Structure 1
Amino acid sequence: MNTDQHPSSMPSVIEAAARIREGRLTPVQLVESSLLAIETHNPTLNAFGDVYADAALEQARVMTAEALAGHSRGPLHGVPFGIKDLFSTAGLRTTKGSLTGLDNVPVQDAPIIRRLKDAGAIILGKTATTEFGWTGASTSRVFGNGRNPWDPQLTSGGSSSGSAIAVTARMVPATLGSDGGGSVRIPGAFCGAFALKGSLGRIPTWPWSATEMLSHAGPITRTVRDSALLFDILSGPDPLDHQALPAPTESYLARCEQPLRPLRIAYCPTLFETPVDPVIASAVEAAVQQIAQALPVTITTRTLDWQDPLATFETLWVGGRGIAYGKALVNQMDQLDPGFAELIRRSADYDLAGYLNAVQQRAAFANQVHALFNTFDLLLLPTLPILPFAADDVAPAGHAGQDGAVPWACWTPFTYPFNITGNPAASVPCGFSPSGLPIGLQVVGRRFTDADVLQFCAAFEAIAPWDQHLPPVLTR
């Protein structure tokens, strides 16, 4: 194996692709580095489930020969990726984080997987997810509870838990995740990675989901430009997703290289009068002040009078997922995560009239949010109001609402609102707690302005870089 195995030697996506293209790194060396990192850290952190070591190495050997011959399959030629185990992968097991799915092997790739392969990526393995992506914590009966690389006693967040862990622990240059209520942004904030939930439909999703009006697919990366490159590759319509948006009219990566135009920014220290941990509030406030001083922006602190759409989200989430999965799993309830089984049981409390009312309330809340962007270009707020809690818990100890059907939504009230509205929303690392835990700043744009969000985040990254920081688990 490659002997240069220090964690800092794991390149970003753009760095890896460039080194392979220029002959300074081979796909074999990169895959070997990833496999060693997984072997070293996965037993502690629980990022990966299935790892395709032999197949990935064989593919890497072929792609190394191709690169030496001057042939490239695409912009990701030879770069290994981790794939959240919710995405369908042809011929590769997709458990969806459930004991009921241990024998599920799809026959067709999801569009996002097909596009990744067409760009030359190597599928290294499947990353951990909570059962059917139901919770924002990192508990899993299939993979083991996900653990935060900054402190393995704490949660990584979910449901794209393994994807965020794998990126932060330098197991792979990047991963794919999904976000139905915060599932890339929550672990992105807890683990100190960059995660953008694009506009609804920006990256096509398939198979169909009972919560399709909330569900987004996207990458988790160490840098903004890596994410922009992947959005360039993964975006665009696909006949399998009726919600998919038209192809972008510009390159997201190219936009990140352009000077930032003057922007009008609303800054909300909180939403819905939610108490924010003082450590988080201080770090976000400091980041906002730094932005105001260094970038061409006008920032206005706002207190928004929006009503918390938790009841709307719960109805769509529980009614959609609970009824759809409950019908399919009626004879396997004993195999389910207790929290997900409870969600299915509670779905019986919802009726068609209540569900249609939630659909109407979704539209009303979205109208309020979209109206904000008649005045402002971006909205800044904390990604989460809390720091990571114990890895074996689904909610912080004593947190209000932890006995509800969607207990995680009560401690992440700043993420799911933008799944309801479909706005692009990113979590950007913006600082650390005194104990060394990452803190996330959420950047929300008006609908369809994913390029604006990425360009702003790239400008922030330039004045406050974070990728040089390594979690303690990698430096011991």
Structure 2
Amino acid sequence: MTKEICFESARSLASKIRERKLSAREVVEAHLEQIKQINPTVNAIVSLDEERALHSAIIADERLASGKDVGPLHGLPIAIKDTHNATGFFTTYGSPIFRENMASSDDLIVERLRAAGAIVIGKTNVPEFAAGSHTFNKVFGVTRNPYNPKKTAGGSSGGAAVAVACGMIPLADGSDMGGSLRYPACFNNVVGLRTSPGRIPYPKAALYSPLGVQGPMARDVDDAAFMLSVIAGPDHRSPLSIEEPGSVFSTNFNRDLKGLRIAWSADLGGILPVESEVRRNLEQQVRIFEEMGCYVEEACPDLGNAEEVFQVLRAYEFELTYSDLFDRFKEMMKPSFIWNVEKGRNLNAMKMGRAENFRFQLYNHMRAFFEKYDALLLPVSQVPAFDADIEYPDSIDGVQMENYIDWMRSCYYISATGNPSLSVPSGFTKEGLPLGIQIVGPPRGDYEVLRIGAAYEQATGYGKMRPTLALRQDVELS
């Protein structure tokens, strides 16, 4: 029963627990057994607390038996991204500086997950301070891709994506500044949504910055929407908070896309290098949208200034957030992180003003673009998952990458615009590595990108292909 439970949808598991066809204890025990079998190979779950998890499951079953009201995620196990605080668990940020940092309170997103009945069983691995889209650190080590453990799992929500892909948890939380939900979703054949800023209120040092957001990760779009219905909704701790309630995402999607106007571009009008296999994959997906009755044409907005917008405002946010820590512990930080903070310290009012002006232009380019089109299709990643023993690819299609985020432009250009964006499985490379399509929507169009993603997912079925590693009964540990 372990594999059946672990790869059942979150919606179905939650329903069976409420109907008492399964107990929360059975569900948690099955997932703990899956973690025991698979995690030593992929290293996705960290700070696991089995005793606490089982105790919480027993309490969940007692609450249900007593007739008390329960939340929509009642009894479902979840592991929290190790940059988000969950009471009683370490929040290490993947840094030796915080190796023993025990959280004494829940972040807002964790508050909502617990209030909905989810059982926190541990944390998911991240790169140091969530910097970069390759999950490795000096505290817990490298998280590996279950489709090929020699490859990266992506990041920064790498542990989350692998845990979901391998049936170790049914849902996961993540965050995304430059692609941290979308890249790991792409590389692990799951779904990750970069939400609109304010969709999930995100109190942080850069209070008004729309770059960093939080979002759901799941094995299919319906489950991502199910989780979003719980974690979205207004909260005045964030001034960007969107007033629309999360319950709008609990309704069933209309999967009829006939008549939608869909734009697509493999390279954003020639400004991005893209590996040939990634380009061919996107071209194949375009035909699927045509078969679903969409009007499809190759087009893209002008994102020529997105590079400067993202690089400058990211550096500003890094320096703002980590300045004090940087002064005290610089020698303990990875070089790429040091580079980003120092880049922030070299900014001035002229550079900031120029970036903000370009962001204003980007917003209006996108607003005008989505008056003509309903969605924009892009590759999630310009390259398939790369070797796990390097920090980042040094070139793409013969073009040299200058730094550890340079290869992530297909995602972070969209981050700079503030538009919602969904990563959905789009097939596999010749080597069997997952690829993903990025569905970008209009401002605050989270529901629409999920609806389009659900229809596409149903038409293709790519996301149903689980890693063989996670389906085996006996896993040879590496």
> Structure 1 length as normaliser, TM-score?
0.93
Partner of 2:281: 283
Query: Structure 1 residue 224 and structure 2 residue 221: aligned?
Result: yes
1:414 alignment partner, SS class: helix
Query: Structure 1 residue 116 and structure 2 residue 113: aligned?
Result: yes
1:413 alignment partner, SS class: helix
Q: Distance in 2 between matches of 1:284 and 1:69?
A: 52
2:71 alignment partner, SS class: coil
After superposition, where does 1:456-471 map in structure 2 within 5 Å?
456-471=452-467
Partner amino acid, structure 2, of 1:279: E
Q: Distance in 1 between matches of 2:227 and 2:465?
A: 23
Partner of 1:440: 436
Q: Distance in 2 between matches of 1:98 and 1:362?
A: 32
Q: Distance in 2 between matches of 1:207 and 1:108?
A: 15
Moved more, 75-84 or 139-148: 139-148
Moved more, 72-81 or 295-304: 295-304
Q: Distance in 2 between matches of 1:249 and 1:56?
A: 27
After superposition, where does 1:43-192 map in structure 2 within 5 Å?
43-192=40-189
Moved more, 129-138 or 162-171: 129-138
Q: Contact 1:141–1:337 at 8 Å: present in 2 too? A: no
Partner of 2:422: 426
- The change in CA–CA distance for 1:249 and 1:432 in structure 2 (over 3 A counts) is closer
Q: Contact 1:252–1:451 at 8 Å: present in 2 too? A: yes
Partner amino acid, structure 1, of 2:346: D
Could you report, residue by residue, the CA deviation over 1:344-385 in whole angstroms, capped at 9, with x for unpaired residues?
233332223212221221221222122110101111111111
Q: Contact 2:97–2:332 at 8 Å: present in 1 too? A: yes
Moved more, 144-153 or 7-16: 7-16
- The change in CA–CA distance for 1:333 and 1:33 in structure 2 (over 3 A counts) is same
Q: Distance in 2 between matches of 1:232 and 1:75?
A: 9
2:358 alignment partner, SS class: helix
1:451: Cα distance to partner?
A: 1.0
Q: Distance in 1 between matches of 2:85 and 2:203?
A: 8
Gaps of 5+ in 1: none
1:438: Cα distance to partner?
A: 0.8
1:211: Cα distance to partner?
A: 8.1
After superposition, where does 1:208-247 map in structure 2 within 5 Å?
208-209=205-206, 212-247=209-244
Could you report, residue by residue, the CA deviation over 1:138-159 in whole angstroms, capped at 9, with x for unpaired residues?
2222221121111110001111
Q: Contact 1:89–1:108 at 8 Å: present in 2 too? A: yes
Q: Distance in 2 between matches of 1:249 and 1:83?
A: 20
Query: Structure 1 residue 343 and structure 2 residue 337: aligned?
Result: no
Could you report, residue by residue, the CA deviation over 1:183-239 in whole angstroms, capped at 9, with x for unpaired residues?
000111111110111111101112334783201101110010111111111111112
1:73: Cα distance to partner?
A: 1.6
1:22 maps to which of 19, 26, 36: 19
After superposition, where does 1:247-286 map in structure 2 within 5 Å?
247-248=244-245, 251-257=248-254, 259-260=256-257, 262-271=259-268, 273=270, 274-286=272-284
1:44: Cα distance to partner?
A: 1.9
Q: Contact 2:218–2:224 at 8 Å: present in 1 too? A: yes
> Structure 2 length as normaliser, TM-score?
0.93
Could you report, residue by residue, the CA deviation over 1:83-139 in whole angstroms, capped at 9, with x for unpaired residues?
111112234321122211223233332221111111111011111111221112222
Query: Structure 1 residue 359 and structure 2 residue 342: aligned?
Result: no
Partner amino acid, structure 2, of 1:461: E
Moved more, 367-376 or 328-337: 328-337
| Percent pairwise identity | 31
Partner of 2:307: 310
